[in-house]
Amino acid sequence: MTTMPPMPEADDAAAAMDDAPIDESLVLDHEYDGIREYDNPLPGWWVWIFALSIVYAVPYFMWYHMGDGASIEQNYEAELAAYAEHLIATYGELEPDEATILHYMNDETAMVGMAGLFKGKCAQCHLADGRGNVGPNLTDHAYKNVKVITDIPDIITNGVIAKGMPEWGSALSKTQIVLLSAYVAHLRGMNVPGGKAPEPEARVIDPWPAPPPPEPAPDPAP
């Protein structure tokens, strides 16, 4: 049977340090309660990185916190907005009819793109996830001004000025309004937690119509 060598006692280690010869040329000239310390300077490379990081922080702070420097989040939002514009350009001019809105609300790519536009224009009052703040919750099934799906583009275009919903007909293109309508229709039923309670006048409306069937595949060549 083997036995473990005895662990060195802490006192032994301290005693060994006491015995080590002291290099007086390195000892600093102050002493606190009998404790003296060696001058152990940090390595030059470390001190240089530390100093340069402080120097670098000054223009960084001025550009990103006081100047025009965009944050990562702002860059991301600008990219999302550019992506939405790119998508919109590929769709051509859209009409605010039922089939078009139903088609795009079921188009995942379009909905990802429109999330950025919704966030930019509508989140101020409806919040980015649509659960409502100043404006009503758009993620439940109760609506005040909307009875059928094609009412959505009308409301976005004309607003409900007296109640605080701005008109967007002059600020957004017809196609943007159709796509935002699809986005609003697609938010329905998401019931985002913490959503605003329905307005007293809001009523649960009939479900949206079924989406149009996908375009029939072209007949295979005979």
Residue numbers at the binding site for ligand HEC (CB under 6 A): 121-122, 124-126, 134-136, 143-146, 152, 155-156, 160, 163-166, 168, 180, 184, 199, 202
Q: Is the CA virtual torsion 169, 171, 174, 179 positive or negative?
A: negative
- 132/149 Cα distance (integer angstroms): 19
Give the nearest distance from C-beta 160 to ligand HEC in angstroms.
4
Give the nearest distance from C-beta 208 to ligand HEC in angstroms.
13
Give the nearest distance from C-beta 91 to ligand HEC in angstroms.
17
* Cβ nearer to ligand HEC, comparing 2 with 170: 170
Give the nearest distance from C-beta 108 to ligand HEC in angstroms.
19
Written as one letter, the residue type at 206 is: D
* Cβ nearer to ligand HEC, comparing 40 with 170: 170
DSSP state of 192: -
- Decide: helix, strand or coil at residue 180: helix
* Cβ nearer to ligand HEC, comparing 107 with 156: 156
* Cβ nearer to ligand HEC, comparing 199 with 211: 199
DSSP state of 195: P
Residue 138 CB neighbours (<10 A): 26
CB neighbour burial string for 154-163, b if at least 16 within 10 angstroms, e if fewer: ebbbebeeee
Give the nearest distance from C-beta 202 to ligand HEC in angstroms.
6
- Decide: helix, strand or coil at residue 199: coil
* Cβ nearer to ligand HEC, comparing 166 with 211: 166
Among candidate residues 122, 124, 102, 111, the one with its CA nearest the CA of residue 80:
111
